[in-house]
């Protein structure tokens, strides 16, 4: 069960009293009770570039799965340059396979064709398929995100930064409604042949029929794409293209409270501004790269300098306070230190909060046993904290597993452990553990995540495992729950 608002207030009050800051907690909760302002919207005439509607269109927002529009742009470009085709097979890594749903449920060691990946992204918004594309084109997801950001700058998306290929929570990944409209227009202008995929309503994938998440295709006359998106930090997002006779519009809505509310808002915006759209095209609106040229050197043969960062997302004071209060459901000390700084003035003295937390006894920072498992989405990010080293060849993530000493003890004394993956990248293994912990619910509430390094001819691999199971049945039960959430796992006697 989740934490109710009344319980959250009680837990936060208790915690803040323990560090001598009950007054600050009351102030935070009073303002944090209001929902964060995540909304923005934008409508542009795709014939002449005239802005027809703008509501906070240049404020930074989390793009969620709208990110996959750029992932597809990069794939389309590779196809245009002859570096791959629709039938090109792409290898599926353990890391890509382990991405959280929604996903195609790809198996490590299998392959995915470019066309299957395209259809998986435009319909199901498959997170695993997005990472397969990233690793194929960039070598790693992190490097591919750098390439995506560089491409965004080239297209004129000056306030967009990408950190991953699929839009899963990461507080360093942000964009704006205006930038996403630019990307939507670029996809149509630069890749008219591939653009038709965005109108796909369903496709068959290896015995499964997968339906599109985009409900406006077929509902609103002239709508032919583009992409939906959702994470907890962003709300429900949508970029929509409408081509009705000689008129063309691109609309963007960020921060809908529900998918239906977002869709209804978009439908109203399109209906209102279509009559104002021009019937004459002035030519391409988005700067196009020279045909056949490469934006970046090949990732396998040259180094790459990441682009200069843009500012972190700008949140209102109410949003800052809401995020602080919400974060106490997970790791209070870390959450306060991570909260983004608002422009102008600070809501509270953050240095004072950090000092108070640093001096508090460790037990005052621990989450009550009845609270839900930590969730990275609570403060809008998924990257793991650098791991701590412990004896015995295992590495633990203190943010998701508690104190290092306790983690080492759990690993050494646990009769049974559960393994969910093995990967050559330790940070990836830790990220998998954090995501599985958040999704595992009560069966992992007392489990401790750790990685175990194993050497071999192919190099070092890191096993992603959970300790803390007294019996085989307990470990098997945890596996059953994780398998229902698309994680591959097995129980092992320790």
Query: Are 420 and 488 within 8 A, CB to CB?
Result: yes
How many C-alpha atoms does 321 have within 13 Å on its Cβ side?
20
The phi-psi region of residue 51 (left if phi > 0; otherwise alpha if psi is between -120 and 50; otherwise beta) is beta
Among the options 125, 331, 375, 414, which is catalytic?
125
Among the options 68, 103, 151, 437, which is catalytic?
68
Distance separating the N- and C-terminal Cα atoms of the chain: 31
| Tokens 């005239």, residue located | 50
* CA distances, 483 to each of 145, 231, 238, 271, 490 (Å): 29, 22, 30, 44, 10
Q: Is the dihedral of CA 11, 17, 19, 23 positive or negative?
A: positive
3-state DSSP assignment of residue 251: strand
| CA angle at 312 for the pair 428 and 233, rounded to the nearest 5° | 65
245: exposed, middle or buried (Cβ count in 10 Å: 0-12, 13-18, 19+): exposed
Q: Among 153, 206, 147, which Cα is nearest to 175's?
A: 153
Among the options 65, 93, 375, 414, which is catalytic?
65
Question: H helices within 56-210, ranges in order?
Answer: 67-80, 94-97, 114-119, 127-138, 141-154, 177-190, 192-195
Helix (H) or strand (E) holding 429: helix 426-440
Helix (H) or strand (E) holding 375: none
E-strand stretches of 2-95:
40-45, 51-55, 89-91
68 among known catalytic residues? yes
Query: Are 166 and 107 within 8 A, CB to CB?
Result: no
| CA angle at 337 for the pair 141 and 348, rounded to the nearest 5° | 135
d(CA 260, CA 268): 12
282: exposed, middle or buried (Cβ count in 10 Å: 0-12, 13-18, 19+): exposed
Q: Which residues pair with 247 in a beta bridge?
A: 244
Query: Are 63 and 234 within 8 A, CB to CB?
Result: yes
Helix, strand counts (H, E) of the chain: 18, 15
446 among known catalytic residues? no
Query: Are 216 and 99 within 8 A, CB to CB?
Result: no
d(CA 54, CA 220): 21
151 among known catalytic residues? no
Task: Tell me the catalytic residues.
Answer: 65, 68, 125
């Amino acid at each position: 069960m989740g934490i109710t608002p009344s319980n959250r207030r009680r837990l936060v009050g208790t915690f803040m009293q323990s560090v001598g800051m009950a007054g600050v907690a009351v102030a935070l909760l009073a303002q944090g009770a209001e929902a964060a302002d995540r909304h923005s919207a934008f409508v542009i005439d795709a014939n002449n570039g005239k802005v027809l509607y703008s509501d906070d269109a240049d404020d930074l927002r989390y793009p969620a799965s709208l990110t996959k529009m750029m992932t597809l742009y990069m794939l389309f470009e590779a196809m245009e340059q002859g570096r791959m085709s629709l039938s090109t097979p792409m290898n599926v890594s353990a890391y890509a396979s382990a991405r959280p749903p929604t996903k195609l449920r790809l198996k490590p060691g299998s392959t995915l064709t470019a066309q299957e990946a395209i259809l998986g992204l435009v319909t199901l918004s498959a997170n695993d398929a997005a990472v397969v594309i990233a690793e194929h084109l960039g070598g790693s997801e992190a490097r591919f995100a750098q390439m995506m950001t560089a491409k965004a700058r080239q297209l004129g998306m000056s306030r967009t930064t990408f950190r991953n290929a699929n839009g899963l929570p990461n507080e360093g990944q942000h964009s704006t409604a205006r930038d996403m409209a630019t990307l939507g227009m670029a996809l149509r202008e630069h890749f008219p042949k591939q653009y038709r995929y965005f109108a796909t309503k369903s496709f068959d994938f290896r015995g499964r029929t997968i339906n599109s998440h985009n409900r406006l295709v077929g509902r609103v006359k002239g709508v032919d794409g583009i992409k939906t998106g959702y994470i907890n930090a962003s709300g429900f997002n949508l970029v929509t293209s409408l081509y009705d006779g000689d008129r063309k519009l691109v609309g963007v809505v960020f921060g809908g409270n529900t998918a239906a509310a977002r869709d209804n808002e978009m439908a109203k915006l399109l209906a209102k501004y279509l009559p104002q759209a021009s019937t004459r095209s002035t030519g391409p609106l988005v700067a196009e790269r020279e045909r056949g040229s490469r934006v970046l050197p090949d990732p396998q043969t040259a180094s790459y300098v990441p682009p200069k960062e843009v500012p972190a997302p700008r949140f209102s004071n109410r949003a800052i306070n809401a995020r602080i209060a919400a974060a106490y459901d997970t790791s209070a000390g870390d959450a306060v230190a991570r909260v983004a700084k608002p422009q102008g003035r600070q809501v509270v003295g953050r240095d004072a909060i950090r000092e108070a937390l640093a001096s508090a006894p460790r037990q005052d920072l621990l989450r009550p046993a009845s609270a839900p498992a930590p969730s990275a989405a609570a403060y809008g990010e998924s990257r793991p904290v650098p791991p701590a080293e412990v004896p015995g060849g295992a590495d633990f993530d203190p943010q998701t597993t508690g104190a290092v000493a306790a983690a080492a003890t759990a690993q050494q004394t646990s009769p049974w452990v559960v393994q969910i993956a093995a990967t050559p990248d330790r940070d990836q293994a830790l990220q998998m553990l954090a995501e599985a912990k958040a999704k595992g619910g009560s069966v992992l509430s007392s489990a401790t995540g750790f990685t175990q390094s194993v050497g071999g001819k192919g190099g070092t691999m890191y096993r992603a495992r959970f300790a803390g199971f007294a019996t085989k049945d307990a470990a098997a039960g945890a596996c059953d729950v994780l398998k229902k959430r698309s994680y591959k796992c097995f129980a092992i006697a320790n």
